[in-house]
């Protein structure tokens, strides 16, 4: 399961977002401000699973999941000596940055409400943090090179590319690295290399628009306060309230789905009377990768995958009809699985 770290300046709405995510998931997070990181799991909403459940009436249904971390320290002020403000999110696969675009007299914004400025400051902090790591390591490598130790030469070259980008205030996620270079950088867990979802936490009076961001980054607006009131309602009353409060789109679904996309994930489905289930794989994964996600035995004994796209299955109305009409495609191990493929793996025991 992938992990997403929430960061932002104090009073931006990080904990509010975390708590409504958890409430929407039906798993209550421990309440209140916390000195420690809080971690919780959400299901990734997928309407297609609802429709497949209606078709198969299975005993069990399962969605994919993402873990969220509300970091106690991330971006909460100036780092102290030897202290890393970002420890809680460094190990995450992607980041959500919450920026404040709401007035609230109970929690006045010290420097005034200016989400664009806050986002710039936050990005600058991430860049500086990565740059410090790059420079420390480069110094070390250069010393080694001087005494003839050349093992880290390739790593040094990649780090120089990183330094150049960061010195120009360009996040590493916008740089084209070769897979080999990415492998050399992996251990550093650079913050600006992670995909970034910016949540512009807005109240109804704001007319500000979030910016368009570069590669592997995206900004969306969310009305955290309104969403908090909505998720507190019984599910059947939510739609009407959305209408009344002028929040037509389900903001939490949007946050979770966008994180899923930014993580590079897509879903394939397994269907049947026992279970309808969504599985996570990376965009670009093959049929044998998909088999391995279900069980390593299926990957090992892989013979073929029988595949039908979700939309095709829906238009045939049943699995049996699709099969009868010969509409289950037979695919080999190198088939690139598409988002929404309904897959059955044939394998040797
Ligand atoms: N009016 C308003 N208040 C909010 C909103 N989001 C959060 N708050 C309030 O702002 C304060 C700080 O929120 P919190 O989620 O704890 O921020 P954090 O410091 O980033 O974790 C709390 O009192 C929240 O109730 C919002 O969208 N509108
Ligand atoms: Mg908080």
pTM for this prediction: 0.91
Nearest to 197 by CA among 8, 20, 42: 8
Q: Give the closest residue (by CA) to ligand 1 atom 8.
A: 13
pLDDT at 34: 55
Transcribe 103-167 into DSSP letters.
--TTS--TT---HHHHHHHHHHHHHHHHHHHHHHHHHHHHHHHHTT--TTHHHHHHHHHHHHHHH
Q: Is 108 in the pocket of ligand 1 (CB under 6 A)?
A: no
Report whether 29 contacts 120 (CB < 8 A): no
Q: Is 14 in the pocket of ligand 1 (CB under 6 A)?
A: yes
Q: Kindly report, residue by residue over 178-207, the tens digit of the pLDDT.
A: 999 999 999 999 999 999 999 999 998 888
Kindly give the number of the ligand 1 atom that is closest to the alpha carbon of 223.
27
From the CB of residue 156, how many other CB atoms can be counted at a distance below 10 Å? Answer: 18
Nearest to 189 by CA among 109, 129, 254, 100: 129
Q: Give the closest residue (by CA) to ligand 1 atom 28.
A: 225
- Domain residue spans of the chain: 2-262, 284-347
CB neighbours of 318 closer than 8 A, spacing ≥ 6? 55
Q: Is 200 in the pocket of ligand 1 (CB under 6 A)?
A: no
Task: Give me ligand 1 centre to Cα 103, in Å.
Answer: 10
Task: Give me ligand 1 centre to Cα 11, in Å.
Answer: 5
Q: Which residue out of 32, 107, 119, 251 has the highest number of ligand 1 atoms within 8 Å of its CB and is therefore the one to mutate?
A: 107
Task: Give me ligand 1 centre to Cα 161, in Å.
Answer: 39
CB neighbours of 107 closer than 8 A, spacing ≥ 6? 11
Stretches where the chain sits below pLDDT 50 are: 28, 33, 81
Q: Is 206 in the pocket of ligand 1 (CB under 6 A)?
A: no
- 2-262 CATH fold: Rossmann fold (3.40.50)
Strand 275-282 with 60-62, pairing: parallel
- How many angstroms separate the CA atoms of 313 and 93, rounded? 33
Q: Is 15 in the pocket of ligand 1 (CB under 6 A)?
A: yes
Kindly give the number of the ligand 1 atom that is closest to the alpha carbon of 10.
19
Domain spanning 284-347: which superfamily? Beta-grasp domain (3.10.20.30)
């Amino acid at each position: 399961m992938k992990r997403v770290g929430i960061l932002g300046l104090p009073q931006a709405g990080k904990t509010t977002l975390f708590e409504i995510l958890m409430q929407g998931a039906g798993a209550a997070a421990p309440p209140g401000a916390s000195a420690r990181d809080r971690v919780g799991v959400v299901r990734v909403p997928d309407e297609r699973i609802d429709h497949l459940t209606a078709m198969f009436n299975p005993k069990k249904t399962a969605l994919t999941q993402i873990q969220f971390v509300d970091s106690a320290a991330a971006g909460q002020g100036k780092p102290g000596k030897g202290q890393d403000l970002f420890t809680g999110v460094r190990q995450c696969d992607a980041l959500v940055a919450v920026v404040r675009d709401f007035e609230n007299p109970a929690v006045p914004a010290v420097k005034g409400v200016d989400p664009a400025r806050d986002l710039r400051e936050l990005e600058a902090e991430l860049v500086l943090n990565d740059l410090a790591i790059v420079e420390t390591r480069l110094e070390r490598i250069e010393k080694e090179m001087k005494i003839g130790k050349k093992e880290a030469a390739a790593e040094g070259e990649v780090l120089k590319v990183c330094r150049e980008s960061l010195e120009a205030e360009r996040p590493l996620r916008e740089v084209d690295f070769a897979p080999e270079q990415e492998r050399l950088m992996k251990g550093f867990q650079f913050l600006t290399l992670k995909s970034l979802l910016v949540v512009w936490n807005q109240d109804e009076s704001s007319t500000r628009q979030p910016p368009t961001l570069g590669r592997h980054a995206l900004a969306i607006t969310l009305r955290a306060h309104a969403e908090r009131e909505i998720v507190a309602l019984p599910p059947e009353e939510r739609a009407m309230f959305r209408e009344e409060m002028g929040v037509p789109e389900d903001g939490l679904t949007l946050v979770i789905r966008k994180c899923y996309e930014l993580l590079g994930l897509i879903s394939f489905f397994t269907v049947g009377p026992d279970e309808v289930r969504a599985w996570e794989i990376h965009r670009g994964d093959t049929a044998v990768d998909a088999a391995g996600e279900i069980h390593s035995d299926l990957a090992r004994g892989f013979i073929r995958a029988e595949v039908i796209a979700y939309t095709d299955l829906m238009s045939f109305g049943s699995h049996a009809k699709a099969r009868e009409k010969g509409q289950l495609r037979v695919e080999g191990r190198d088939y690139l699985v598409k988002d929404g493929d309904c897959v059955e793996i044939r394998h040797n025991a």
